[in-house]
Amino acid sequence: MDGYPSLDRIDLKILAVLQEDGRITNQALAEKVALSPSACLARVRRLEAEGLILGYHARLDIERIRPTVTVYGEVTLKSHRPADLLTFEAALAEIPEVVEAAQVSGPFDYLIKVVSPDVRFWGELADHLLQEGLGVDKIASHILMKDAKPFRGAPVTARRHPGFDG
Amino acid sequence: MDGYPSLDRIDLKILAVLQEDGRITNQALAEKVALSPSACLARVRRLEAEGLILGYHARLDIERIRPTVTVYGEVTLKSHRPADLLTFEAALAEIPEVVEAAQVSGPFDYLIKVVSPDVRFWGELADHLLQEGLGVDKIASHILMKDAKPFRGAPVTARRHPGFDG
DNA sequence: CCTGAAATCCACTATTG
DNA sequence: CAATAGTGGATTTCAGG
């Protein structure tokens, strides 16, 4: 459990810019953060090596690529022993349609996001999760009706108080 | 409401590769899909223009950049008139800590994901959402304990049946 | 729609401050 | 740690099929 790496204003700016435009050229990035290209590239490589940048990805409009039903599942397990949690997580890792999974506090244990071709597929997937000795007690599901705010990144710098003024 | 664009095997491969590695060079991409660099680039530009590729982003480990508490909020509105939904969604769009929001079916109306510096911030944000004439009835929240499977993209091609064999 | 060539631009590595 | 300059390689455009 080590602390936070020491990041100066330039590092944070680089992270913010790359999160917004992952394909910006190093030259343009260097200009935005007021650094020479070589110094900028060295910082980017350092941020990658430190694991603060985990990867670069194209964001796709999957619903326009093929028919899709996205479902959020609230999964409750029968047991909360660490080994059982890991077994369940390992199973999720093997299912490509489970695109995201979070262990959460509250009345259920995991919130999972599933991108399936139709509702039947989700039904079969839920059945599998309930049957295959994964210790799943129950699953409540919510179908995504509208992607009101697609994920585009988290704020790199924290505000102290929320506000609707920005 | 138009149908799906006609995408051949190469287009789907390009989308899959770029989703996995958004910073791959056009040359390497062209090689992977067995096309010349110029033909490959033309396809990528077409996919971008058609809106199937919405953007490119670095994926950051925000929890290692700064202290973070991620919360899922289940938001119930008082009214479900389209105008009220849009008002609420517009408010969410203005709050950078709300990193994702989905309108869903079921006993609540929106599932929102919030990245806040601490729990107090989330409390204040929830209070604001409940007070400011946005028509919010109630919010149930779940704190993220462990990011069991971070989002890295959705499968570009659909399977017919789920299975744990891959 | 593709290929292939030509020109521009960029990434990356010394080298130096 | 950062700036500068140079080279190899990539991006991008365009002519041609």
pLDDT tens per residue, range A23-80: 999 999 999 999 999 999 999 999 999 999 999 999 999 999 999 999 999 999 999 9
pLDDT at B166: 45
Contacts of A111 (CB under 8 A, 6+ apart): A72, A73, A74, A75, A101, A102, A104, B72, B142
Q: How far apart are CA A104 and CA B69, in angstroms?
A: 11
Q: How far apart are CA A67 and CA A74, in angstroms?
A: 23
Listed residue (B104, B57, B156, B129) closest to A148, CA to CA: B104
pLDDT, position A4: 87
Q: What is the C-alpha R_g of chain A?
A: 20
Grade residue A165 by pLDDT with cuts at 50, 70 and 90.
Answer: low
What pLDDT is attached to residue B132? Answer: 74
Instruction: Give the helix/strand (H/E) hosting A75.
Output: strand A69-77
Task: Please give the model's pTM, rounded to 2 decimal places.
Answer: 0.94
Extended beta strands in B41-151, E state? 53-60, 69-77, 98-104, 110-116, 136-149
Of A44, A39, A46, A24, the C-alpha closest to B23 is A24
pLDDT greater than 70 at residue A131:
yes
Alpha helices of A33-108 — where are they, by DSSP H?
A: 37-49, 62-65, 82-93
Residue B98 Cα distances to A15, A96, B149, angstroms:
18, 26, 20
Residues of B in contact with A121 (CB under 8 A): 158-162
Average pLDDT on B39-58 reads 97
Check if residue B47 sits with its Cβ under 7 angstroms from strand C: no
Q: What is the CA radius of gyration of chain B?
A: 20
**The residue type at B103:** Q
Whether residues A146 and B61 touch (CB distance < 8 A) is answered with: no
- pLDDT given for residue A166 in this prediction: 46
* Chain A contact set for B166 (CB, 8 A): 94
Looking at residues B50-68, what average pLDDT do you find? Answer: 98
Closest to A75 in 3D by CA, of B142, B116, B151: B142
Average pLDDT, chain B: 95
Distances (CA, A) of B46 to A150, B14, B49: 22, 11, 5
Tell the residue number behind the tokens 């959460």, with chain if given: A104
* CA–C1' nearest nucleotide, residue B28: D10
How far from the centroid of its chain's Cα atoms is residue A139's Cα? 21
The answer for residues whose C-beta is within 8 angstroms of residue B30's C-beta and 6 or more apart is B36, B37, B39, B40, B41
Q: Provide mean pLDDT across the span A114-122.
A: 98
Average pLDDT over residues A70-93: 97
pLDDT band at B164 (very low <50, low <70, confident <90, very high): low
- Predicted local distance difference test score (pLDDT) of residue A164: 54
**In the structure encoding, which two tokens stand for residue A34, read together?**
């007021």
What percentage of chain B has pLDDT greater than the value 90?
92
pLDDT recorded at residue A163: 75
Tell if the CB–CB gap between A64 and B4 is shorter than 8 Å. Answer: yes
**Residues A57, B59 contacting (CB under 8 angstroms):** yes
CA B9 to chain CA centroid, Å, is 25
* Minimal CA separation from B41 to chain A, in Å: 14
Contacts of A9 in chain B (CB under 8 A): none
Residue B86 pLDDT grade (very low, low, confident, very high; cuts 50, 70, 90): very high
Which residue places its CA closest to the C1' of nucleotide C3?
Answer: B36
Q: Which residues contact A164 (CB under 8 A, 6 or more apart)?
A: B91, B94, B95, B128, B132
Mean pLDDT for B100-104 is 98
- The pLDDT score that the predictor gives to residue A1 is 64
In this prediction, residue B165 carries a pLDDT of 53
Please give the Cα distance from A122 to A97 (Å, whole number): 9
